[in-house]
């Protein structure tokens, strides 16, 4: 006859079910958050490609500022926003001001945002969002390191 097997005390066992569930939740969380970064980027055209195709090449911010088809919004290094040379004290007025300039009949259908290289990203995004709200057809973004006079 064989000896009966020893009984195992239930307190000595570790239930791994909850640990496996947590590992799967973490895996799914990291996969979902890592994919969000891929879909949030926007591809931009390469300026050198335009030159190779026989185009005029990239323009400077001053060249685009002289174009009457664009309303010029400048952001200086202290994040002060100017619309056609008029400084705005409150960014909440920006969508209204842009809509007003667009509908004034001056023929401007585009928005040119010229930002200083040290301006914050949040201010540039606020200006671009205001241009979207004002329903501009063409939006261009230029970066300069020159101090606006």
The string of pLDDT tens digits covering residues 16-50 is 888 999 999 999 998 888 776 555 555 555 555 55
148: nearest Cα among 58, 57, 84? 84
Instruction: For residues 138 and 69, give the distance between their C-alpha atoms in angstroms, rounded to a whole number.
Output: 9
Cα 5 from Cα 115, distance rounded (Å): 79
Cα angle 125-140-61, degrees, rounded to a multiple of 5: 110
The domain segmentation of the chain, as residue ranges, is: 13-39, 57-144
pTM comes to 0.57
Cα-Cα-Cα-Cα torsion 59, 62, 63, 68, nearest 10 degrees, comes to 130
49-71 confidence digits (pLDDT tens): 555 555 555 566 666 666 667 88
């Amino acid at each position: 006859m064989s000896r009966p097997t020893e009984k195992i005390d239930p307190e000595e066992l570790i239930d791994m079910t909850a640990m496996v569930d947590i590992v799967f939740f973490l895996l799914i969380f990291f996969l979902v958050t890592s994919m969000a970064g891929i879909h949030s980027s926007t591809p931009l055209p390469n300026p050198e490609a335009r030159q190779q195709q026989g185009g005029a090449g990239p323009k400077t911010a001053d060249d685009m500022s002289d174009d009457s088809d664009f309303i010029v919004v400048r952001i200086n290094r202290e994040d002060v926003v100017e619309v056609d040379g008029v400084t705005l004290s409150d960014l909440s007025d920006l969508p209204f001001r842009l809509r007003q300039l667009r509908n004034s009949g001056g023929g401007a259908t585009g928005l040119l945002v010229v930002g200083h290289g040290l301006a914050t990203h949040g201010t540039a995004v606020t200006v671009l969002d205001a241009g979207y709200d004002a329903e501009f057809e063409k939006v261009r973004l230029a970066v300069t390191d020159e101090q606006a006079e």
